[in-house]
Amino acid sequence: MIRTNLLRIIKTGFQNFWRNSWLSAATISIIVLTLFVMTSLLLLNVITQSVVADLENKVDVSAYFNSESPENDILAIRQDLIKLSEVKSVEYVSKEEALKQFKERHKDNQTLLQSLDELDDNPLQASLNIKAQSAAQFETIAGFLEQSKYASLVDKVNYHQNREVIERVSNLASNIGRGGIIASLVLALMAIFITFNTVRLTMYNWKDEISVMRLVGASNWYIRGPFVVEGVIYGILAAMATLIILYPALYFVSPKITSFLPEVDLLYFFEVNIGQILMLLVGVGAVLGSLSSFIAIRRYLRV
């Protein structure tokens, strides 16, 4: 009995879909637009996260040590830093290496190099260049280096000079994430509202039949089922259509983005994750369609 009713509900759902082909096409178009924009926001988030990650890799904090600080003590501090979960990597730059790098950077400034050669001693300091797991963790690392037990060794930590840049990178990452979530939620609510009203037009034609079914004792799920099935069909077809539109769009756009941002390859990301993206689109589309139908039919279930 349950199996028969379930098959009848699914069959009726498909019949409703084909019987209202123009309304079905309009509803699918709305869901396609929503899914396309939501997926575009997802891909935009991929771009921005790649850019932010690249910026974070270029941002570091350097601790400069007093000239008399023993190398063994500096290397001991390096080991302490590596143990921190916030630290991604620590590079030790000796005074000699710092001088070599300085000369390489200013090789075209002979006046400066001659002045440097006239000095009796190397004026540059040994340092530790520290990269964090994320930009938000640099403050913790700087605080660790400014502890009193390191005061006699550390001359300065340049976190405060770089703080504005670090905070901008950190804020950019968090703001983009929040913005994408908010925009997706707004679009989803709009899609539910529009689909809800479209489905209500379909149900208006069925209001007499629904009233009769209620009077003869049909259960709510039996009446509601075909419309929910119809909503799921909307969502699945919209997901497939969105995927078909997305691929050629990315094929055209991705090389242009890669030419400006070499670390970003949207087409490759899409191809590698196409299974997950398809499941996401089908899931979101089915939920949008079925939820709209579920809400829209509630008023007709009251006799």
Q: What is the CA radius of gyration of the chain?
A: 31
- Contact criterion met (CB below 8 Å) for 227 and 214: no
**C-alpha–C-alpha distance, residues 59 and 88, integer Å:** 12
Q: For residue 57, give the nearest of 166, 204, 161 by alpha carbon.
A: 166
**C-alpha–C-alpha distance, residues 266 and 248, integer Å:** 12
**pLDDT of res. 166:** 65
Going from the N-terminus, what domains does the chain have, and what CATH number goes with each? 2-55+175-301 (no CATH), 58-168 (3.30.70.3040)
**C-alpha–C-alpha distance, residues 24 and 17, integer Å:** 6
Helix axes 159-204, 274-296, angle to 10 degrees: 50
Sign of the four-CA dihedral 206, 208, 214, 216: negative
Length of the chain: 303
Lowest-pLDDT range of 68-72, 100-104, 266-270: 100-104
Strands (E), 52-123: 61-65, 87-93
pLDDT digits (tens, 9 = 90+) for 170-222: 677 677 777 777 877 787 777 777 777 776 776 676 667 777 777 777 677 77
pTM as predicted: 0.65
Residue 259: both structure tokens together:
């030419």
pLDDT digits (tens, 9 = 90+) for 108-122: 777 777 777 777 677
